[in-house]
Amino acid sequence: MTRTYVVTGAGSGIGATTARLLRERGQKVIGVDLKGADIEADLSTPQGRVDAAAAATAAADGRVDAVIACAGISAPIPKTISVNFFGVTEFLTALLPALGRSDAPRAAVVSSMASLQPNSPEMVDAALAGDEPKALEIAGHVVAQGPEAAYLVYPSSKRALARWVRRESITPAWAGAGIPLNGVAPGTVLTPMTADLLASADGAAMVDAAVPMPLNYHQPPESIANLLIWLTSVENTHMAGQVIYDDGGADATLRGDDIWSWNDPK
């Protein structure tokens, strides 16, 4: 049966690949992006998210079977917290009524292995509290401290998003409504986002030091798209709140073999 998917970031990279693979498999895709998609929208603003969700719902005749949120930016600027966190969470939330009309609703987002990197706990907390003005203010302070501190904005956005997925996935709005909500955390994906950085030997060495990928090295967007497609397929009936590190082994390398003992008796 044909399912209707809303894919953000459908104009480039992982989102474009996901949209293409879904269409090749006969699914209906409504792409959302700043440009080059069915619905042109700016997910960095509250109004842009509301308008995009309304346009996507209308294009889907009111019933959306799955949402895959890929739109994001990696720039060390305050806007990154708006696009990567609020542009995902508020957009998904606005689509809950349309998802509720599906027989098998699903949602998946793109976090990052950067969720494991140093970040700003205050920015993460403000995002998780749903306070975008405060998150932007904190991001502004962080960016003003210089280039090294500015880099904290992206990992903060992805840490907050990964935590939001775990927290929201088990609530009445998601699990209670029968909607699996999960995320994917890529390593270094070969898309326009990383092209400039990887073009120089120095840039690539810097990326590889932070993101070690012993399995097959830098990954094509298909490696993420196929997982997003499974997470939002009818087959996924019981996975909730997971952020899957699909990253060439970066997470296992960085965090090691014991991520379970945190709650063992001391």
Residues 87-126 that bind ligand NAI (CB under 6 A): 87, 110, 112
For ligand NAI, which residue of 62, 192, 214, 220 counts as binding (CB under 6 A)? 192
Total number of residues binding ligand NAI (CB under 6 A)?
29
Instruction: Please report whether residue 12 would count as binding ligand NAI according to CB under 6 A.
Output: yes
Q: Which of 242, 116, 112 is nearest to 175 (CA)?
A: 242
Which residue in this structure is represented by tokens 């690539």? 204
Burial class (CB in 10 A: 0-12, 13-18, 19+), 122: middle
For ligand NAI, which residue of 60, 66, 70, 123 counts as binding (CB under 6 A)? 70
Task: Count CB-CB contacts under 10 A for residue 58.
Answer: 12
Annotated catalytic residue 154: yes
Instruction: Please report whether residue 13 would count as binding ligand NAI according to CB under 6 A.
Output: yes
Instruction: Rank residues 107 and 110 by Cβ distance to ligand NAI and give the closer one.
Output: 110
Which residue in this structure is represented by tokens 């087959």? 235
Residue 243 is classified by DSSP as: E
Instruction: Please report whether residue 11 would count as binding ligand NAI according to CB under 6 A.
Output: yes
CA neighbours closer than 13 Å in the CB half-sphere of residue 132: 17
Q: Which stretch binds ligand NAI (CB under 6 A): 19-27, 54-62, 182-190, 248-256?
A: 182-190
Instruction: Please report whether residue 183 would count as binding ligand NAI according to CB under 6 A.
Output: no
Q: Which of 242, 248, 244, 256 is nearest to 207 (CA)?
A: 248
Instruction: Please report whether residue 59 would count as binding ligand NAI according to CB under 6 A.
Output: no
For residues 40 and 66, give the distance between their C-alpha atoms in angstroms, rounded to a whole number: 19
For ligand NAI, which residue of 6, 7, 14, 228 counts as binding (CB under 6 A)? 14
Q: Which of 151, 157, 152 is nearest to 110 (CA)?
A: 157
Question: Strand locations in 174-216, DSSP E?
Answer: 181-186
From 151, 154, 217, 245, active-site residue: 154
Instruction: Please report whether residue 250 would count as binding ligand NAI according to CB under 6 A.
Output: no
Known catalytic residues are 154
Residues of this chain that interact with ligand NAI (CB under 6 A) are: 9, 11-15, 33-34, 41-44, 70-74, 83-84, 87, 110, 112, 186, 188-189, 191-194
